[in-house]
């Protein structure tokens, strides 16, 4: 088989296609194609742009999560006293200070109290709705009438906590600004003048020992001091109330679990006391048969916005008085 020469192949190919003659209107057809392309270019670009925009819009709609799929959990309502009306500005016209002293007798059903007189409200206490039992005493908190939030009930729209200056809070510092706050009493009402903004918060308790004995101690170490106030002293046993700073210029009385009291001292064959531990409060209850040897049960409680809750199991022990160190004292800060 002889190989085909390139020149011969070129000749054969040229001869094969030589009969082909272009059509007469070839140029006109090319021009028509060019015109057609020009004519359709703008609509095609416009249509393409619209399609792209529609695709982008569809992609955005598809990628963006639907609002109905977003789960929004309501914030847990803060612990508020049964009849809280809000703080007052120092020096501002103080309302009828005794208007909030009625406690537990309001007619409204807890949620939202209606403002009366100078803005104080007296919603009824609703201990059954709390996750923990209320305090052994049912204190009343009142504050100045000028606060706009006074019309709202407890647990709703409470002011937020400011940022603390240090953790734990410094000496005497309740509002977390690093400075000591002034604590005083007026009858059964504790008055705290916050150094942060000079606002005076008033908390009405069943009674308050005179002279006032109080201590500021940051039990939970959140940078805001808790206020311990001696409420009574009878028969060798002193009772206390613990006030918790839960929001800007807002103090509430801490509720204790059922069966616990915040007291110290010895009365015949029973005794009680408490001390502040590491981010908790330890309540000790002792019983004795001879008044000297006490069987002591110590329970640790943790402070939260809901109040004091029992953590862990109680510890038991024996204390012989007066030789052993007595656990039946108020061991949180120095009361003054």
Partner 1 sequence: MPARSDAARSDVARDADAALTALYSEHYRSLVRLAALLLDDIGLCEEVVQDAYIRVHAAWGRLQDRDKALAYLRQTVVNLARSMLRRRLVALKHAPKPMPDAASAEEGAYSLVERAAVIQALRELPRRQREAVVLRYYADMSEADAAAVMGCSVGSVKAYTSRGLSALSGKLEGLR
In terms of CB distance, is 9 or 47 closer to partner 1? 9
Query: Site for partner 1 (CB under 8 A): how many residues?
Result: 27
Q: How far is the CB of 8 from partner 1 (least distance, A)?
A: 7
Q: How far is the CB of 20 from partner 1 (least distance, A)?
A: 5
Q: How far is the CB of 37 from partner 1 (least distance, A)?
A: 6
Q: How far is the CB of 68 from partner 1 (least distance, A)?
A: 47
In terms of CB distance, is 16 or 60 closer to partner 1? 16
In terms of CB distance, is 37 or 267 closer to partner 1? 37
Residues whose CB is less than 8 angstroms from the CB of residue 239 and which lie 6 or more positions away in sequence, other chains included:
136, 137, 230, 231, 232, 233, 261, 262, 263
Q: E-assigned strands of 84-206? A: 88-89, 115-116, 120-121, 140-142, 182-186, 189-193, 199-204
Q: What is the per-residue DSSP string for 255-283?
A: P--TT---EEEEETTEEEEEEE-SSSEEE
Interface residue with partner 1, options 29, 114, 157, 295 (CB under 8 A): 29
**Residue 22 DSSP symbol:** -
**C-alpha span between 320 and 299 (Å, rounded):** 19
**C-alpha span between 322 and 289 (Å, rounded):** 15
Q: How far is the CB of 162 from partner 1 (least distance, A)?
A: 58
Q: Which of residues 34-93 bind partner 1 (CB under 8 A)?
A: 34, 37
Taking CB under 8 A as the rule, does residue 107 contact partner 1? no
Contacts to partner 1 by CB under 8 A: 1-4, 6, 8-10, 12-23, 26-27, 29-30, 33-34, 37
């Amino acid at each position: 088989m002889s190989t085909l020469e390139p020149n011969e192949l070129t000749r054969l190919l040229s001869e094969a296609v030589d009969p082909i003659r272009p059509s007469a209107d070839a140029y006109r057809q090319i021009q028509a194609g060019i015109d057609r392309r020009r004519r359709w270019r703008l609509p095609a670009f416009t249509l393409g742009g619209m399609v792209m925009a529609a695709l982008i819009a569809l992609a955005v709609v598809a990628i963006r999560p639907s609002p109905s799929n977003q789960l929004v959990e309501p914030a847990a309502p803060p612990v508020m006293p049964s009849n809280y009306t809000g703080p007052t500005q120092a020096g501002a016209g103080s309302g009828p200070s005794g208007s909030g002293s009625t406690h537990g007798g309001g007619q409204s059903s807890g949620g939202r109290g209606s403002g009366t007189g100078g803005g104080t409200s007296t919603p009824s206490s609703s201990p059954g709705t709390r996750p923990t039992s209320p305090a052994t005493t049912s204190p009343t908190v009142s504050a100045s009438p000028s606060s706009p939030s006074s019309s709202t009930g407890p647990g709703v729209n409470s002011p937020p906590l400011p940022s603390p200056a240090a953790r734990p809070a410094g000496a005497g510092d309740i509002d977390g600004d690093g400075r000591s706050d002034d604590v005083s009493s007026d009858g059964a009402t504790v008055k705290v003048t916050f150094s942060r903004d000079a606002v005076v918060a008033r908390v009405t308790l069943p009674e308050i020992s005179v002279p006032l004995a109080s201590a500021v101690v940051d039990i939970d170490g959140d940078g805001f001091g808790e206020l311990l106030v001696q409420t009574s002293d009878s028969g060798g046993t002193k009772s206390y109330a613990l006030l918790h700073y839960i929001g800007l210029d807002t103090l509430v009385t801490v509720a204790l679990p059922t069966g616990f009291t915040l007291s110290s001292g010895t009365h015949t064959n029973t005794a009680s006391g408490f001390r502040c531990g590491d981010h908790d409060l330890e309540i000790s209850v002792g019983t004795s048969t001879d008044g000297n040897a006490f069987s002591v049960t110590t329970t640790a409680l943790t402070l939260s916005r809901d109040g004091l809750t029992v953590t862990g199991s109680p510890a038991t022990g024996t204390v012989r008085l007066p030789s052993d160190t007595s656990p039946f004292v108020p061991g949180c800060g120095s009361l003054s």
